[in-house]
Structure 1
Amino acid sequence: MPIIVNLDVMMAKRKMSLNELSEKVGLTLANLSVLKTGKAKAIRFTTLDAICKVLNCQPGDILEYTEIGVDLEVTEN
């Protein structure tokens, strides 16, 4: 997937644990963990808004678009 989730980076910069973020944002640990590991298929704007408020950051600090690694195939010669 060309969207990279940098939630763990922002949490580290703010010295905030997943438990603390979960409590402040009002999301379950399981849902935040899915987002943090990049396994989420979508995120609601209300969730992104809450995370940005708690971490005092912009959406672009958490979500990053990249084409690197998309559709890469290993070929043998």
Structure 2
Amino acid sequence: MDSNEVLSTNIKIYMVKTKKNITDLSKDTGIARSTLTPLIKGQSKMVKFETLDKITKALNVTVDQLFDFKYL
């Protein structure tokens, strides 16, 4: 499993835990749905640090938690 899959899976898990859907995450982060969708589907080839920072703040997690393999 590569880092894109880990990131994608963990974002989905934390979205469920915080009861957020992609629209909520988009509104909370200011990141367009068109940017978030491939990221959440594991189709994104690159993620900006700024994007990760916004997602971690919206989901109240750390970057380490988003790349943690414990749920896999």
Does the alignment reach a TM-score above 0.5?
yes
Equivalent residue number for residue 55 of structure 2: 51
Please report the RMSD computed on the Cα atoms of aligned residues, expressed in angstroms: 1.4
Instruction: Say if 2:64 is the partner of 1:60.
Output: yes
Contact 1:48 1:59 in 2 (8 A): yes
Tell me, in whole angstroms, the C-alpha distance in 1 between the residues paired with 2:52 and 2:24.
16
Alpha-carbon deviation of 1:26? 0.8
Tell me, in whole angstroms, the C-alpha distance in 2 between the residues paired with 1:64 and 1:34.
20
**Structure 2 gap segments, 5+ residues each:** none
Between the aligned residues of both structures, percent identity stands at 31
**Moved >6 Å (runs of 4+):** none
Higher share in strand: 1
Which structure: larger Rg?
1
Higher share in helix: 2
The letter of the residue matching 1:31 is: T
